[in-house]
Structure 1
Amino acid sequence: PSVFPLQVVLLLLTLIFALVHSGMASLRETGEKIIGERAYRVLFAGISLPLALSTIVSILYIVFSFFFC
């Protein structure tokens, strides 16, 4: 199999997570003023954790399928 598309997928997954995570972190003060500290942290975790988990699982799947198949 070609490695290039897999590298693109890995790069895109990592970039999407990094942009969303850092973007939400930079908007923390504004978000906390609008919806409250606890609600913003729950929202941040609700968005950031699934993205992180899906990124890690996808990377592991691609790596294991590439090396062990």
Structure 2
Amino acid sequence: MTSVKYFNGYSMPLVGLGSWQSSDPTELEKALDVALETGYRHIDTAYMYENEAVIGNVLKRWLDSGKIKREDLFI
């Protein structure tokens, strides 16, 4: 994936998964799982989307499994 490198050495992917208007929690969970499986590490979300609990649960599951590291995510 194409990324931009910051002065601190971190590279952030330019393409991220948007979560706006994701009203069905089951569909959002599936979308996040597929995105993370295929290498997405940039998740676009906001408090006003009201889906932070679903995103948090999926990310926690992935982090706890050791499949990803927090420092690799851009949220």
Question: TM range, normalised to the smaller chain?
Answer: 0.3 to 0.5
TM-score (norm 1): 0.32
Higher strand share goes to which structure?
A: 2
Higher helix share goes to which structure?
A: 1
Q: Which has the larger radius of gyration?
A: 1
